[in-house]
Amino acid sequence: MQAIRSILVILEPDQPDGPALKRARLIAGATGSELHLLVCDKQHDHTAFLAAQAEALRVEGYTVSVRQDWLDSTHQTIIAAQQAEGCGLVVKQHQPDNPLKRALLTPDDWKLLRYCPAPVLLVKTARPWSGGNILAAVDVGNSDEAHQSLHAGIVSHAFDIASLAKGELHVLSAHPAPMLSAADPTFQLRESIAARYREACQQFQEEYGFSNRQLHIAEGPADLLIPQLAAQLDAVVTVIGTVARSGLSGALIGNTAEVVLDALESDVLVLKPDDVAEHLEAQLSQD
């Protein structure tokens, strides 16, 4: 997160002091990032609103630019602005869809998570981060290079947020149930599976200095365990990853990030592996 130099903030004109801007100001204050304010609207002129917001931020010492755009949808407008400004983080207030609408149409925030090459912070609450628990969810059962890079990024970002908020980092990795038919004897016993996952997380413990109490290795599906642990910890931010298979235009429907989004009561930071981000960047440059 310390490498972020510019942040795209999606503003809602009817919420001039909305939680997305508060989060972006906090991060920009710690990283020295520029703030790029965006209103997605094709019907009304928000020039005065954007100018007032920018001036107030400049008085506080932030470097700010503003824009109002509209393409075919909110997520396309956001991604176009992120590409134009070269932003390393997108901050947006999450707008949940009702279950019926979600069953018929893919939610726009899901599309943003799928197609945006940059990390996306979806702000779900107005609770302050200060002193709160930060949960990083990794799947160390996937040990290929792309996943290792993603896991490292997830824990690194969560550690940075915990440091920024003077909070406590927690790391979760869900593991599968034992299978007697597994070719690897390790996966035939619950204890040996948990031990392997805990061992795989030791590098994170050594690098970031968190205790066994802050490491959670649990059996079960990640899309159930992540919201459960986040609720138990009363986490203020949950950091997760989303992965698309090579050659697909976006993340797979129903991936963990999308499934848990509405189940979490915390803010959610979603990251992608470098190869997925590069694939999306290449696609966007061809459009």
Which pLDDT tens digit goes with each residue over 11-27?
999 887 889 999 999 99
Which pLDDT tens digit goes with each residue over 221-234?
999 999 999 999 99
Joined together, the tokens standing for residue 252 give: 């797979």
Last residue of a domain, which of 44, 65, 93? 93
Please determine, for residue 251, whether its predicted confidence score (pLDDT) is greater than 70: no
Residue 65 lies in a domain: yes
- Percent of the chain at pLDDT > 90 equals 61
The 3-class SS string of 88-105 reads CEEEEECCCCCHHHHHHC
Residue 155 lies in a domain: yes
Q: Please report, for the domain that includes residue 157, its CATH number.
A: 3.40.50.12370
Give the DSSP H or E segment for 149. helix 145-165
Joined together, the tokens standing for residue 210 give: 């968190």
Backbone dihedral angles phi then psi of residue 34, each to the nearest 5 degrees: -75, 150
What's the number of domains the chain is made of? 2
User: Do 137 and 275 share a domain, yes or no?
Assistant: yes
CB 128 within 8 A of CB 161: no
Sort strands 120-123 and 267-271 into parallel, antiparallel or unpaired: antiparallel
Give the DSSP H or E segment for 174. strand 168-175
User: Do 89 and 137 share a domain, yes or no?
Assistant: no
User: Do 278 and 151 share a domain, yes or no?
Assistant: yes
* Distances 242 to 42, 150, 186, 227 between C-alpha atoms, Å: 30, 9, 27, 16
CB 190 within 8 A of CB 226: no
Average pLDDT over residues 122-146: 91
Residue 10 lies in a domain: yes
User: Do 137 and 24 share a domain, yes or no?
Assistant: no
User: Do 178 and 69 share a domain, yes or no?
Assistant: no
* Distances 194 to 148, 226, 277 between C-alpha atoms, Å: 18, 17, 31
- State how far the Cα of 149 lies from the Cα of 269, in Å rounded to an integer: 16
Last residue of a domain, which of 93, 123, 158? 93
Nearest to 89 by CA among 285, 279, 277: 277
Residue 218 lies in a domain: yes
Residue 119 lies in a domain: no
- State how far the Cα of 188 lies from the Cα of 182, in Å rounded to an integer: 6
User: Do 275 and 140 share a domain, yes or no?
Assistant: yes
Last residue of a domain, which of 30, 65, 93? 93
Q: Which domain holds residue 66?
A: 6-93
Residue 166 lies in a domain: yes
pLDDT value for 110: 85
Q: Is 66 helix (H, G, I), strand (E, B) or coil?
A: strand
CB 106 within 8 A of CB 132: no
Residue 219 lies in a domain: yes
User: Do 141 and 276 share a domain, yes or no?
Assistant: yes
pLDDT value for 145: 81
Q: Please report, for the domain that includes residue 58, its CATH number.
A: 3.40.50.620
User: Do 20 and 139 share a domain, yes or no?
Assistant: no
Which pLDDT tens digit goes with each residue over 70-127?
999 999 999 999 999 999 999 999 976 665 555 455 678 888 988 899 999 999 999 9
Residue 181 lies in a domain: yes
Backbone dihedral angles phi then psi of residue 174, each to the nearest 5 degrees: -85, 140
